[in-house]
């Protein structure tokens, strides 16, 4: 039986290689056309007043001058007190969310809860995340009234959705070695979670909790717009009366306090995740 001779170099260099044409799916073109049509329709349905857009930069500059040229610092003590109430609202909402979401997230993790229960919990987390805190607060205030407790409960409910999702994803990302060792030693599900999962997932959980507190601090100012108290309530009142100098002072307080909390929380989260830095 004769072996096949390799192709000669002269034959391989006789002409350029022919690369087969790439098949193009028509669905990509159809999807691009549909997305473009939706964007164009949405853009024109907004009913933008083009003549006012030309005056927008001047209007923004005028209001910025009214707010920040001479802020009304005499209202600063009241602003700091209302800001503290917003922080309290965010803190209570964060703690309630942690207490409720953490055990549910452990059950919703793959390998630690029944399949049907995991599906229900993950669906609940998704539904909660789809509803803004403002809508949740409007629903709750029919029971609790216009109090800071309404804002705290709204933040707690919304926190269950985010903390629950982050929690079961963190548990499922844990290396399986300690979990298998705890199960091989005859540990129950609770013991496996305590000794096989929690020591590794704890830094991630703490980081998530701090990040959720940052989110709640910003959201508490927004919830004040519906009258549940805090700096947002004060900001709404002075905006309605067009006292722009006071509004400017309030915005300065909100920005400074929020940035300070974000910086402190970010430093703590880096310390938790990365450990102390060696100098």
Q: For tokens 């602003």, what's the residue?
A: 79
Residue 202: the pLDDT is 87
Contact 75, 243 (CB under 8 A): no
What pLDDT does residue 20 have? 62
Distance CA 64, CA 46 (A): 26
Whole-angstrom Cα distance, residue 152 to residue 132?
14
The per-residue pLDDT for 37 is 83
User: Which residue in 179, 172, 137, 173 sits closest to 158, CA to CA?
Assistant: 137
> In CATH, what number is assigned to the domain containing residue 172?
1.10.3720.10
Confirm whether 264 is domain-assigned: yes
Question: What is the per-residue pLDDT for 5?
Answer: 54
pLDDT < 50: residue spans in the chain: 1, 11, 278
Per-residue model confidence as pLDDT tens digits over 15-47: 566 666 666 667 877 888 888 888 777 777 776
Residue 105 in any domain: the answer is: yes
Confidence at residue 165, expressed as pLDDT on a 0 to 100 scale: 92
Overall number of domains in the chain: 1
Q: Nearest Cα to 137, choosing from 166, 159, 105?
A: 159
Is residue 32 domain-resident?
no
| Chain segment 50-72, per-residue pLDDT in tens | 667 677 788 788 888 888 888 88
What is the domain extent for residue 179? 84-274
Query: What's the CA gap between 143 and 163, in Å, rounded?
Result: 25
Residues 6 or more apart whose Cβ sits within 8 Å of residue 242: none
> 172 in a domain, yes or no?
yes
**Token pair of 113, please?**
């809860």
| pLDDT for the residue numbered 124 | 94
Structure tokens at 164: 């629950």
**Within a domain: 121:** yes
Instruction: Determine the pLDDT at residue 18.
Output: 65
In a domain, 65, yes or no: no
In a domain, 229, yes or no: yes
Q: Is residue 43 part of a domain?
A: no
Q: What is the pLDDT at residue 59?
A: 79
**DSSP line for the chain:** -PPPPPPPHHHHTSS---PPPPP--HHHHHHHHHHHHHHHHHHHHT---HHHHTTHHHHHHHHHHHHHSS--GGGHHHHHHHHHHHHHHHHHHHHHHHHHHHHHHHHHSTTTS-HHHHHHHHHHHHHHHHS-HHHHHHHHHHHH-SSHHHHHHHHHHHHHHHHHHHHHHHHHTS-HHHHHHHHHTT--HHHHIIIIIHHHHHHHHHHHHHHHHHHHHHHHHHHGGGTSSSHHHHHHHHHHTT-HHHHHHHHHHHHHHHHHHHHHHHHHHHHHHH-PPP-
């Amino acid at each position: 039986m004769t072996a096949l001779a390799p192709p000669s170099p002269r034959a391989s260099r006789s002409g350029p290689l022919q690369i087969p044409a790439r098949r193009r799916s028509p669905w990509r073109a159809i999807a691009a056309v549909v997305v473009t049509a939706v964007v164009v329709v949405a853009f024109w349905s907004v009913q933008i007043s083009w003549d006012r857009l030309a005056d927008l930069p001047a209007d923004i500059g005028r209001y910025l001058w009214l707010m920040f040229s001479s802020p009304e610092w005499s209202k600063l003590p009241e602003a700091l007190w209302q800001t503290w109430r917003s922080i309290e609202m965010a803190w209570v909402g964060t703690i309630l969310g942690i207490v409720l979401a953490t055990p549910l997230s452990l059950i919703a993790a793959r390998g630690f809860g029944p399949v049907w229960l995991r599906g229900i919990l993950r669906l609940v987390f998704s539904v909660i995340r789809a509803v803004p805190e403002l809508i949740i607060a409007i629903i709750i205030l029919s029971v609790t009234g216009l109090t800071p407790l309404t804002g705290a409960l709204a933040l707690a409910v919304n926190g269950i959705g985010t903390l629950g999702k982050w929690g079961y994803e963190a548990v499922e990302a844990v290396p399986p070695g300690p979990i298998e060792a705890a199960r091989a030693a005859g540990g129950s599900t609770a013991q496996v979670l305590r000794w096989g999962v929690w020591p590794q997932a704890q830094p991630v959980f703490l980081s998530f909790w701090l990040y959720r507190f940052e989110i709640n601090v910003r959201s508490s100012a927004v919830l004040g717009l519906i009258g549940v108290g805090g700096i947002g309530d004060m900001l709404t009142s002075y905006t309605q009366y067009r006292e722009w100098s006071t509004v400017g002072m309030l915005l300065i307080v909100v920005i400074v306090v929020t940035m300070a909390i974000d910086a402190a929380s970010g430093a703590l989260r880096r310390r938790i995740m990365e450990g102390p830095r060696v100098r």
